[in-house]
């Protein structure tokens, strides 16, 4: 009887892991479904886009939207140097961001980095602390989403 219960436990845990994995895939695909990516910054390390279709206002001063970074070869090398070899095949990252338009601060709500085959390299849904809008985000993006 113990053996049967042990096998059932392993099957249930496997099923749970499978279901959670499927939910993450659906969430990842739904988060950018119907996206209208508009370029806001181009550097040697990445091309930065924001999704004009995802802009929402969860409160009066807060704007929420998705950003995407398509990494260049130089950007990938920088990420590998900073975070290790698992970033060797980095393709792009997608972040859910919020800007407080009155205080001119920004934070990331979640981020996912993908390899060139669509696999997830890194994923976090822990919101960052609010910080001043960096120059790399650009005044044009701030003006576009806070209008």
17 vs 68, residue with greater confidence: 68
Span 110-135, pLDDT tens digits: 999 999 999 999 999 999 999 999 88
Query: Could you tell me where the DSSP H helices lie in 32-90?
Result: 73-83
Query: Closest Cα partner for 30 from 9, 53, 14?
Result: 53
For residue 28, what pLDDT is reported? 45
For residue 68, what pLDDT is reported? 97
Question: Residue 136 above 80 pLDDT?
Answer: no
For residue 12, what pLDDT is reported? 36
Which CATH architecture does the domain made up of 35-146 adopt? Beta Barrel (2.40)
Question: Residue 47 above 60 pLDDT?
Answer: yes
Regarding pTM above 0.85, the answer is no
What whole-number distance in Å separates Cα of residue 132 and Cα of residue 118?
Answer: 32
């Amino acid at each position: 009887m113990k053996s049967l219960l042990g096998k059932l436990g392993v099957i249930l845990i496997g099923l749970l892991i499978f279901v959670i994995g499927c939910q993450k895939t659906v969430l990842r695909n739904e988060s950018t479904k119907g996206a209208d990516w508009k370029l806001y910054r181009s550097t040697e390390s990445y091309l930065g886009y924001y999704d004009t279709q995802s802009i929402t206002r969860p409160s009066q001063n807060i704007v929420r939207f998705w950003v995407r970074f398509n990494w260049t070869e130089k950007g990938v090398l920088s990420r590998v140097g900073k975070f290790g070899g698992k970033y060797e095949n980095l393709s792009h990252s997608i972040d859910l961001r919020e800007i407080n338009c009155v205080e001119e601060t920004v934070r990331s709500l979640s981020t996912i980095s993908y390899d060139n085959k669509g696999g997830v390299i890194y994923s976090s849904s822990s919101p960052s602390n609010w910080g001043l809008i960096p120059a790399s985000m650009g005044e044009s993006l701030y003006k576009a989403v806070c209008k």
